[in-house]
Amino acid sequence: MNLFSIDTGFFKLDGGAMFGVVPKTIWNKTNPADENNLCTWALRCLLVEDEGRLILIDTGVGDKQDAKFFGHYYLHGDATMDKSLAALGFHRDDITDVFLTHLHFDHVGGAVIREGERLLPRFKNATYWSNQQHWDWAVNPNEREKASFLKENILPIQESGQLKFVAAESGVQFTENIHIRFAYGHTDAMMLPLINYKDKQILYMADMLPSVGHIPLPYVMAYDMFPLTTLTEKKILLTELVEKEIVLFLEHDPVNECCTLQQTEKGIRLKDAFKLAQL
């Protein structure tokens, strides 16, 4: 098995929304905001090469939205999905599976491209994976979350016939080396891949833990639909990550790709931060 970090650039989100009830005087020390109170975040995906399959976990924002949409999020950086794949010797057509942790625009936007008036899967040879429970939640969104579930990111996947579902329950084995964990606080039935790699386990954190700045328990995003559920899930999960020495792969941390955690007098905190390639 080989794992590759896939850089698709950066975007900006409101710092207060990203840290919920935590005061700016605290979070601004680790994630400094600009003059508009916006913090920079990565759009980092993970590529898994294993047993003849090339599995892409999440797809970034993509490039098909209009200037007005992108103007809200200040996309920047030179990296793109295609450039990052090419740097590794791959092409988008080589991807066999696209695993979508959830269907918010910054995780699924790159799954679909615009060709003229048509919206088509970017990865034409891939099977796209979601789960029925989350899919139903996304295509019939609540008023608070519907700005993150854009139909142009989601419905073309189903219309192409390339969509499949995994069971939305604990204990799901995606491949021999990838086990799926589920979380319900950020959005309904978000999937977290737990990967066996080089005698270690790596958990792709998606929006369960966007960055090392979110490690303390109260640091829960205002974007989460069920923050108390997130708090409960986070407390259980972080304890397990420490006990089992599981590596965290961070999708949105602007600096750190991976980290490990440790128990301290102040609670669970960062132990080491490092690049995926250092494993």
User: Which residues constitute the domain of residue 97?
Assistant: 2-278
What is the number of structural domains in the chain?
1
The CATH number of residue 212's host domain is 3.60.15.10
pLDDT digit string (tens) for the chain, length 279 residues: 999 999 999 999 999 999 999 999 999 999 999 999 999 999 999 999 999 999 999 999 999 998 999 999 999 999 999 999 999 999 999 999 999 999 999 999 999 999 998 999 999 999 999 999 999 999 999 999 999 999 999 999 999 999 999 987 767 899 999 999 999 999 999 999 999 999 999 999 999 999 999 999 999 999 999 999 999 999 999 999 999 999 999 999 999 999 999 999 999 999 999 999 999
Q: Provide the pLDDT for residue 170.
A: 67
Site of tokens 């931060």: 273
